[in-house]
Amino acid sequence: MKKIPTGVSDLDTIIKGGVPAGSVVLLFAEIGSGGLEFVYTSSAKILRAKENPEDIPTILGDECKSSILPEEIHYITFSRAKVDILQEIKTSFNQNYYDIIEENVNFKDLSQQYFKRTMVPPGWAGDDGTSLFSDKKETDLLEGLVHFLEENAQNNMVVIDSLTDLLTNTSIDNDKLVTIVKGMRRASRRWGGVIYLLLSKDILDRSLEYHIIDSVDGVFNFRWSENKRVSKRQRYLIVDKFMSVLPHLKREKIARFTAEVTDYEGYIVINYERII
């Protein structure tokens, strides 16, 4: 089975080289618990590995020596501007993260169409030329998203930031979007890359959350510690769903990963808790 590294080396080591190529993975995160940091880390480390293939064992881990790397990385955004995302990376991580992502990640801004039927004035959305709808030919946001994936998902890593934006936009039919995610899951087998869908936890109705979870291949659940007696907040990563990943965790009796975010290494696993 072909694997694509997540870029989090300790996780990739345990799951034997990454996630299966052709997967749609939901990054289901509590606010600030690490979903975005995971995406930035994955992007930066994969790009570094592509630039220095001889250093793959150092950058990604020994288990990734036989893994495949995406040909390109595409970052689709609906409500956040490219400049804001890059500024967030620049202030959170070291300069190398900013430089390699700014130079190599293809940002696709769909904000023009996203805000079209809202009270937000067109001037607020801005248009820096990267918008899929800059030429005004596309009229439907979801149709444009599907078209972009058809054209760009083959053998690539695609980040969709975020499903929360789409599912809370009153002009978008949620049932239609869920159907697209289901279709995306089928098509991803043919595309052979990996698609990460960001979704914020506890914003949508619980039944809709479960509907999305049921429509993807895997779910990485990012949480904060629930221990009220500890003053320091702790990030956790739990694999809630992933048929080809969970057997590795079960074999190692791993319940959840303890994680932290540093400016030099990005999102990293520092420990894991075993099932007793």
Q: Is the pLDDT of residue 97 over 90?
A: yes
What is the CA 113 to chain-centroid distance, rounded? 22
Q: Is the pLDDT of residue 260 over 70?
A: yes
Q: Please tell me what DSSP assigns to residue 275.
A: P
pLDDT band at 156 (very low <50, low <70, confident <90, very high): very high
Q: Please tell me what DSSP assigns to residue 77.
A: E
pLDDT at 228: 64
Between the CA of residue 124 and those of 42, 112, 115, 162, 201, what are the distances in Å?
Answer: 30, 9, 9, 19, 27
pLDDT tens per residue, range 17-69: 999 999 999 999 999 999 999 999 999 999 999 999 999 999 999 999 999 99
- Calculate the average pLDDT of the chain: 90
Give percent of the chain above pLDDT 70: 89
Q: Which domain holds residue 85?
A: 3-274
170 Cβ neighbours under 8 A, 6+ residues apart: none
Q: Is the pLDDT of residue 93 over 70?
A: yes
pLDDT at 267: 96
58 touches 64 (CB < 8 A): no
Residue 42: which CATH number?
3.40.50.300
Distance, in Å, from the CA atom of 143 to the CA atom of 115, rounded to the nearest integer, reads 15
127 touches 112 (CB < 8 A): yes
Say how many domains are in the chain: 1
pLDDT tens per residue, range 118-151: 676 767 766 554 554 444 454 689 999 999 999 9
Q: Where are the alpha helices (DSSP H) in 52-81?
A: 56-59
181 touches 197 (CB < 8 A): yes
Given the DSSP bridges, would you call strands 254-262 and 266-274 parallel, antiparallel or unpaired? antiparallel
Q: Where are the alpha helices (DSSP H) in 68-173?
A: 82-92, 95-104, 111-114, 122-125, 141-152, 163-167
One-character DSSP codes across 144-199: HHHHHHHHH-TTSEEEEE-HHHHHT-TTS-HHHHHHHHHHHHHHHHHH-SEEEEEE
Q: What is the mean pLDDT of residues 154-181?
A: 95
Dihedrals φ, ψ of 58, to 5°? -75, -40
pLDDT band at 273 (very low <50, low <70, confident <90, very high): confident
pLDDT at 126: 65
pLDDT band at 117 (very low <50, low <70, confident <90, very high): low
Q: How many CB atoms lie within 10 A of CB 130?
A: 15
Q: What is the mean pLDDT of residues 178-198?
A: 97
Among 91-95, 229-233, 264-268, name the one with the lowest average pLDDT: 229-233
204 Cβ neighbours under 8 A, 6+ residues apart: 164, 167, 168
